[in-house]
């Protein structure tokens, strides 16, 4: 093969590598989408009121449902929606013999419109409510899936996930055995005192940041072109 052929072959290989790198980078790069493109049904239906159902719990923490339920109403209200008082609606549902959201998944959502007059129902699932502790390091993870369904069409009009991972370790405490002991003590204390509620609230605000504003917010209808990073994991 002559020298010209080798150069052409090298150029061809280089071109293939560049193309593959471009495909790889584009696959890894976060995709930005607008709220209007991602959640067109929500803009179409424009719900004004939301009923929050008791959360479903897929974590290993039995107390997660009670703690989490106190963190979701506030951020929804700040987003411009009328939110039915959680404690009252939960008691009404219990009087009807419905204690868990798992039992409500298969109910016709129009029933909630008839009982409460709500435009939409929020289903939440606690995916993680975990404390990972390994002497010198500890992480607190709170992960929540949110799904808003219309009582008019039964369709899902918005869904997203919020996940917060908090480092509870003591950070840098100096060198030597003494530093390791101090760090272990600080980590143990932080783990024992870890309060999930603020972190669950943060996870909710993260997820709800993608929710189009409701009718009682000054930016209602003006956020269609706001962009956020689209989640690629299955919902």
pLDDT tens figures, 190-215: 333 346 677 677 777 878 889 999 99
CB contact set of 231 (below 8 Å; sequence gap of 6+) = 160, 161
Residues in the chain: 235
234: in domain? no
pLDDT digits (tens, 9 = 90+) for 92-145: 888 877 767 677 777 788 889 988 999 999 999 988 877 554 433 456 777 888
> What is the tally of structural domains in the chain?
2
Examine the pLDDT at 71 and tell me if it is beyond 50. Answer: yes
In this structure, are 159 and 140 located in the same domain?
yes
Provide the percentage of residues in the chain whose pLDDT is more than 70.
66
pLDDT digits (tens, 9 = 90+) for 171-195: 443 343 433 333 333 333 333 334 6
In this structure, are 82 and 137 located in the same domain?
yes
Instruction: Report pLDDT for 1.
Output: 53
In this structure, are 67 and 111 located in the same domain?
yes
Pairing of strands 120-133, 49-52: parallel
Is residue 158 within 8 A of residue 213, CB to CB? The reply is no
Look at residue 42 and give its three-state secondary structure. Answer: helix
58: in domain? yes
How far apart, in whole angstroms, are the C-alpha atoms of residue 168 and residue 132? 10
In this structure, are 106 and 143 located in the same domain?
yes
Instruction: Report pLDDT for 8.
Output: 52
In this structure, are 25 and 50 located in the same domain?
no
Examine the pLDDT at 16 and tell me if it is beyond 50. Answer: no
In this structure, are 170 and 114 located in the same domain?
yes
Tokens 């509870």 belong to which residue? 168
In this structure, are 13 and 61 located in the same domain?
no
Provide the percentage of residues in the chain whose pLDDT is more than 90.
30
Structural domain that includes position 103: 32-229
79: in domain? yes
Instruction: Report pLDDT for 195.
Output: 61
In this structure, are 26 and 40 located in the same domain?
no
Look at residue 150 and give its three-state secondary structure. Answer: strand
In this structure, are 1 and 73 located in the same domain?
no
């Amino acid at each position: 093969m002559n020298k010209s052929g080798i150069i052409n072959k090298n150029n061809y290989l280089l071109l293939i590598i560049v193309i593959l790198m471009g495909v790889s980078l584009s696959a890894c790069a976060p995709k930005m989408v607008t709220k209007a493109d991602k959640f067109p049904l929500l803009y179409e239906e424009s719900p004004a009121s939301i009923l929050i159902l008791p959360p479903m719990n897929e974590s290993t923490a039995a107390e997660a449902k009670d703690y989490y339920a106190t963190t979701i109403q506030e951020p929804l209200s700040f987003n411009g929606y009328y939110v039915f008082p959680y404690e009252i609606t939960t008691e009404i549902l219990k009087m009807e013999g419905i204690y868990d959201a798992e039992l409500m998944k298969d109910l016709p959502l129009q029933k909630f419109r008839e009982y409460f007059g709500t435009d939409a129902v929020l289903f939440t699932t606690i995916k993680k409510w975990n404390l990972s502790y390994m002497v010198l390091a500890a992480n607190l993870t709170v992960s929540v899936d949110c799904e808003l369904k219309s009582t008019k069409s039964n369709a899902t009009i918005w869904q997203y996930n919020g996940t917060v991972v908090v480092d509870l370790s003591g950070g840098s405490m100096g060198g030597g055995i003494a530093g390791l002991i101090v760090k272990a003590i600080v980590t143990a204390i932080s783990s024992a005192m870890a309060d999930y509620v603020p972190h669950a609230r943060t996870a909710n605000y993260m997820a709800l940041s993608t929710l189009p504003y409701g009718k009682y917010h000054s930016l209602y209808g003006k956020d269609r072109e706001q962009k956020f990073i689209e989640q690629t994991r299955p919902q």
